[in-house]
Structure 1
Amino acid sequence: MELIEIDLKWRNSKQQQLDQIPKAETSIRKVSGEISYVDFFNEFMQPNIPCIFKSEIVDKWRSKTDWVDDRGKPNFDFLAKTFGDSVAPVANCSQQYFNAQKKDDMRVNKFIEYWKKYIQDGYPTSEQCLYLKDWHFSRNFPEYDAYKCPEIFSSDWLNEYWSAKGGDDYKFVYMGPKGSWTPLHVDVFTSFSWSANVCGQKRWILFPPGTEKKLKNKLGDLPNQRELSDDLLKEGIVADQFAGETIFVPSGWHHQVWNVEDTISINHNWLNGCCVRNSWLSLEQGLKSVEKELADCSDMDAWSEQCQLVLKAVAGIDFKEFLDFLLFIARQRIICLDGESPLSAGNTLLGKEHAYFDLSKIVDVLELFYKITPNPDCDNGLQLIKEVLGKYPSS
């Protein structure tokens, strides 16, 4: 495995935070050819800027060979025969459920039958449009090597942590006909995401952090409409992603996505030291919103604990689990710094400089955490990490 190290210049860089609104770009940069991890880190991940990679990452994947026919279209026969008995979540693009779409579980072969008929009928707009999404494919088919995570996305704390815990991941397959879409949203935990088109074409509109405030109505809800109005479009960046291309969606960028053609994509949500502060700020704001909603019950017993329960239901994580997540990642980085072997990240090795970077960012968030929820675990973790970092040069 190749060893990845990062340049010391990160110590003098300023991470783009949620409370800083970057200048809106007129287009998304498309990167041709190979890009090194260090260049991706410095040009896109650390400054929190979106991009699309045109390199032939997908062409090397088994999914490109098996899932796509000679015309570049989904290979329905193979998909139904090989994965048809699996159950996946399927969204009804015509039915709103809060700020998302209503989902029901469906066998993959039934969805394929629907999809083929939908094409034969000419993609009728009068009928409901279904979209198979958020399918934990790797969890359901662990022996099927559908793809390899690109090296530039290998520093992935989310899947590192939940893989160790067992039972969950943030790795998904999306399959949908032309016309299916995903409403405006920000990714879980205010994480990064990457999405690679195995076949088909997507159209994205992305909004820089902060601009989503202009999109919300008086109740604080984001618009839920298939075609965004011209006023909303002015605030965002529109980009087309073609077959074989991979998009990087930065932390805190709200986005809406349409399938321009019949499309299959592979997606990961992930976060690391470059965006963990954004994740914490978003979680902290989430708790404030919960406390505001439950303010009338603030005199009840265990009110704070109840707020954390609601926070976990809404955000997918509470303060206790977020702290456990940070301390788990910190322990792995301390092992890397104190030991002889590098840190494994999928098919890649992260070096000691990268471990130092990660720990320094964890310290930043733990200090913010401690101000809100002081507790011994957080304090002990902070002191240990600072002690370890103190053994290494700071510049």
Structure 2
Amino acid sequence: MVLLEGCLDSWVALDKWDRDSLVNVSGNVRFSVGPVEMRLEDYFRYSDQVKEERPLYLFDLKFAQKVPILGSEFEVPVYFREDLFSVLGNERPDYRWVIIGPAGSGSSFHIDPNSTSAWNAVIKGSKKWVLFPPDVVPPGVHPSPDGAEVACPVSIIEWFMNLYGATKNWKKRPIECICKAREVILVPN
């Protein structure tokens, strides 16, 4: 894992993407939010009031097609411009998403598909990362026999409250960091 600073400085999105501007440019466009689609304005209203343990977060891979101006307001940092999947053209796997969520939201444990290394840029707020070595199974997590899929029957908040503490005394502990606004994290496959 590598945490990078300064490589987003040319992004228009850093100063432009706030709630009002995003709602203004997206109009009535519907984005993927968990199992449903909703307008951004409705999602922000939901996220302001959510009190549930597993708050939904917006996770949309077609955001730049739905609202093309958004796709033009950021660029791939220089360190990640080599893109071997680009040779696949229209057959390339999904590779970029916009993710928006309230405090406490986030993905559960997973392994990124296609053995990819991923970079994640934070524009506003922060995101906590907990990465386990490939040979270590986090407490409460159940990998498939081939290791390609993992299941965690509890929410990420419940995992932090009840299982996270067990890792503090492990010989092979997870790598942790908080990626803040204007930073990028690289997560190797």
User: TM-score, normalised to structure 2's length?
Assistant: 0.79
Q: Which one of 111, 128, 134 corresponds to residue 60 of structure 2?
A: 134
Q: Is the 8 A contact 1:215 1:232 kept in 2?
A: no
Native 8 Å contact 2:25 2:67 kept in 1: no
Q: Which residue of 2 aligns with 1:51?
A: 2
Task: Please tell me whether residue 247 in structure 1 is matched to residue 185 in structure 2.
Answer: yes
Number of the residue aligned with 1:64: 14
Change (3 A) 1:124 1:161: same
For CA contacts below 8 A with separation 6 or more, give which structure has more relative contact order. 2
Partner of 1:210: 135
How many angstroms apart in 2 are the aligned matches of 1:147 and 1:217? 36
Residue number in structure 2 paired with 1:108: 40
The reply on whether 1:223 has 2:152 as its aligned counterpart is: yes
- Bigger Rg, which one: 1
Deviations 1:156-184 (A, max 9, x none): 122x135x226974111101111112100
Aligned alpha-carbon RMSD (Å):
2.7
Q: Distance in 2 between matches of 1:109 and 1:84?
A: 8
How many pairs align? 175
Q: Distance in 2 between matches of 1:214 and 1:113?
A: 34
| Percent identical residues | 25
In structure 2, what residue type is equivalent to 1:184?
F
1:216–1:223 CA contact under 8 A, matched in 2? yes
Matched ranges for 1:1-395 at <5 A: 50-54=1-5, 56-67=6-17, 75-91=18-34, 103-115=35-47, 117-118=48-49, 124-125=51-52, 129-144=55-70, 145-158=72-85, 160-162=86-88, 164-165=89-90, 169-212=94-137, 216-217=141-142, 221-225=150-154, 226=156, 227-228=159-160, 229=163, 230-232=165-167, 234=170, 235-251=173-189
Question: What are the superposed Cα offsets for residues 186-245 of structure 1, whole Å, 9 maximum, x if unpaired?
Answer: 111121110010110111100121223876449765434322412346431121111111
Question: Aligned equivalents of 2:114 and 2:105: distance in 1?
Answer: 24
Aligned residue type for 2:43: F
Preserved CA contact (<8 Å) 1:87 1:106:
yes
Counterpart secondary structure, 1:130: coil
Q: 208-217 vs 188-197, which deviates more? A: 208-217
Cα deviation, residue 143, structure 1: 4.6
Does the 8 A contact of 1:88 with 1:105 survive in 2? yes
Q: Structure 2 unaligned segments of length 5 or more: list them.
A: none
Q: Report if the CA contact (8 A) 1:85-1:107 is conserved.
A: yes
Structure 1: give runs of 5+ residues left out of the alignment.
1-49, 68-74, 92-102, 252-395
In structure 1, how many angstroms separate the alpha carbons of the residues matched to 2:105 and 2:27? 21
Greater helix content: 1
Contact 2:125 2:181 in 1 (8 A): yes
TM-score, normalised relative to structure 1: 0.40
